[in-house]
Structure formats: structure tokens, C-alpha cells
Structure 1
Amino acid sequence: MVGFPLLLIPLAVYNIIVFLMPGLSFTDPLLRVTLMSGEQWPVALNDMLLAAGVLLLLLEVIKGARPGAKYLTDHLLSLIVFGAAAAEFLLWPKFGNSTYCLLTLLALVDFISGIALRTRRRAVAVTTPPSVRASKAEPTAEAAPPAPAPEVITPVPSRAPAPVIPPAASQVPAAASVAESVLLDQGAPKPTQPAVAAPDLQPGHQPSSDAPPRS
């Protein structure tokens, strides 16, 4: 979209007043403003046109500072406005005054500032490294997660096992062997011996011949 040259507005108002209202003076005060000091400030038509031109120039610079805001056609229109204003200032007697000269100078500043901003953007685009361009062209690419830091393993000093000293076999008998020997002694059957009849020790009794003699 082609931008409209805003500096054309005060220049067009000046032309309208000159050609359509020739009896209107640019220097006659239109209103008087009382300042805090008590001084009366007369505001004329040429002062209002110059103030409007300065404010519109500020807006033009802000528009041109945005990336891709002004195209070649916009600069061409600014150049045409400046050329027409300069031609009127030099060729027409009603435009040969300080007010119109300052308006023409504002149009020139608008054209030069647009060219300077465009050149500056082109220089910045050329000096941009390729990595930055790739990151701007692919905003959806996710950055790779950082590699995890290696774990640091602290070595634990090994302890030698305490020597095991076996108890002396000759000093303390094993409890199992003692219990086994006690059980064997209690459970073993004892041999029975035949009962021997006591001899009859009455007087006159003779032992039978079947009994074996005692030695």
C-alpha cells in the first residue's frame, strides 16, 4: 500500500489560501494566547502552517522508521512534493516568502530522511549473519536440549574384612557331640543277667549235685 505524503497537506492549504482567498493575510494574527507570564502571544496563519508541517514531518519519520514501511513509490511521491514546492517558491511571486520557504525545506527533510532510513535498513540486512537469518526464518524450530552433565562418581574406599579366628577345638567341646553322647547312653538297653537262686543254708541240707561247684 502506497503511503500518502503528509507534507502535502500544509502545502495544499497554502495554495488554497493563495488562489481562492487572495485577501487573507498570512501575517495577521488570528488569535492571541495569554501566557503564564502575562504576555500576549499573537498566533498568525503562517505560524499555524509551520507548526502543522513540523508535526506531520515527525509522523513521516516515524512511518519511515518501521521495517518495510516505505516503498520506492513513497520516496518518489516525497520527491515530487518537494520539487513542486521548490518550483512554486522560485517561480510564483506570491510564494516567495519565508513561510513557504520553510515548508519547502520540511518537504526536503522528509525526502532525505526516507532515503537515509531505507539505506540504513539495507545495510543492517546485509551485515546480519546467516545464523541469525535462519533463526528468524524458522521461528518454529525448537532448540536442542542441552546435553546432561556427566555424573561424578566418588570412589568409596574399600575396607578389608576382619579376620575370623576359629575357636580352638581342644578347648571347648562341640555341643552337638555332647548331646549325642548323652542320648546314646540313655537309650542303649542294658543286658539282663539270669537270676541265681540263693542256696538253702539250712542245716543238714546238701546241695544238689547238679549245681556247679563254686570255685
Structure 2
Amino acid sequence: MIGFPLLLIPLAICNIIVFLMPGVAFATPLFTLALMSGVAWPVTLSDVLIALGILLLLFEVIKGARPGSKYFMDHLLSLVVFAGAAAEFVMLPQFGTSTYFMLTLLALVDFLSGIALRARRRLAPADAPVSRNKRQRDIETAAPRPDPEPAPVPPAATVAESVLIERTTPHPVEIARASPELGSPGLQPGAQPSPDTPPR
């Protein structure tokens, strides 16, 4: 999308006045304003054109500061407007006035501000200020996380007591192995006496 160079409007009005209204002078007062100090301020056509140019320059800078604006064609159009105004100021005697010089200077400021804003936008990602929350998150992710605390080690006395208790308490299998069997099966509880054994 190509933006229209707004400073072309006051320059075009100057061209219309010079070529189509040769009897109109830029220093002719259009109206008079009575100030609170009591002074009557005569507003000329030159004042109106310069004020219009300054306001349009403000809108041009705001338009150029928005993201995604001021493409190459916009810069080229601003350069064409400045070059045309400068050529008319230097080469044509009708445009050799202070009013037209100021409008030409505003066109130059528009062109240079567009280039400056474009260059700053290219450097913006690297130089952009980082918010406090994002900086804090970066520090937290970059900082090494502490290792988890090891499990508490029981004191040596507790370990020694548990070992002694395990050694002194016999296991059920060891109890079965340690119980002696009687040599005589007849004396075993619940055993039937052998028929070869003489009665007592």
C-alpha cells in the first residue's frame, strides 16, 4: 500500500496560486485576530500555508512511525516531492519566496524522518527494552537449578542397633534347622511304635 505524500498539498496550493492566480500575493492578510494582549495579528496566506505544512508534517511522521508503513515507494515519493519543490524554488523566479523555501524545507524533513524511522525500526528487535517480567524469566531459566536435597542419613548408632537386633533375633528357618530330632522315632510326639520294639 502506497501512502500519499501529504506535503504535496501545500506545495500544490502554492503552484495553483502562482500559475492560476497571479494577482494574489502571499503577504496579503487574509484576516486579523485580536489577541488578549490587545494586539491585532494579521494572518497572511503565507502563515496559513506554513502552518498547514507543519501540521501535515506531523501526520506524516505519525504515519511513518507505525509498524509496517513507509515502504520504499513512500520514501521515493517523498524524495520526488522534495526534489520538485527544490527545483521550483531554485529555477523559477515566482517561487523564490521565504514561504516556498519553508515548505521545501518541510518536504526535506519529511524525507529524512522517514529514512530515520525506517533505520530505527530495523534495529528495534535488538535494542528494544526488555520488560521486567521477561528479564526475570530469562534469569530464572538461565540460572542453574539447585540439586535436590539428599535423603537424610540415619545416625550410626541407629544403624548399629538395627544390625544387632537382626543378628540376635533368630529366623524361623534357622529355628527349624536348630531343633534336634530325637534318635528314637517312638519318642517322637504322635509317632507309632515299631512292632519290633519290645514293650517296656
- Both structures adopt the same fold (TM-score exceeding 0.5): yes
| Structure number, greater radius of gyration | 1
Q: How does the TM-score come out when normalised to structure 1?
A: 0.59
Task: For residue 90 of structure 1, report the CA deviation from its aligned partner.
Answer: 0.3
Task: For residue 124 of structure 1, report the CA deviation from its aligned partner.
Answer: 1.9
Write out the 4+ residue segments of structure 1 that deviate beyond 6 Å after TM superposition: none
In 1, Cα distance between equivalents of 2:125 and 2:72: 17
Aligned residue for 1:117?
A: 117
Aligned residue for 2:46?
A: 46
CA RMSD of aligned residues (A): 2.9
In 2, Cα distance between equivalents of 1:33 and 1:53: 21
Q: Whose helix fraction is larger, Structure 1's or Structure 2's?
A: 2
In 1, Cα distance between equivalents of 2:53 and 2:127: 35
Aligned residue for 1:96?
A: 96
Identity, in percent, stands at: 68
Deviation readout 1:36-78 (Å, 9 max, x if unpaired): 1111000000100000000000111111111111100000000
In 2, Cα distance between equivalents of 1:81 and 1:38: 41
In 1, Cα distance between equivalents of 2:127 and 2:58: 28
Amino acid at match of 1:121: R
In 2, Cα distance between equivalents of 1:22 and 1:95: 12
Deviation readout 1:172-214 (Å, 9 max, x if unpaired): xxxxxxxxxxxxxxxxxxxxxxxxxxxxxxxxxxxxxxxxxxx
Aligned residue for 1:18?
A: 18
Task: For residue 126 of structure 1, report the CA deviation from its aligned partner.
Answer: 5.0
Unaligned residue ranges in structure 1 (runs of 5+) = 129-134, 136-149, 151-215
In 2, Cα distance between equivalents of 1:127 and 1:21: 52
Amino acid at match of 1:114: G
Q: How does the TM-score come out when normalised to structure 2?
A: 0.64
Task: For residue 125 of structure 1, report the CA deviation from its aligned partner.
Answer: 3.2
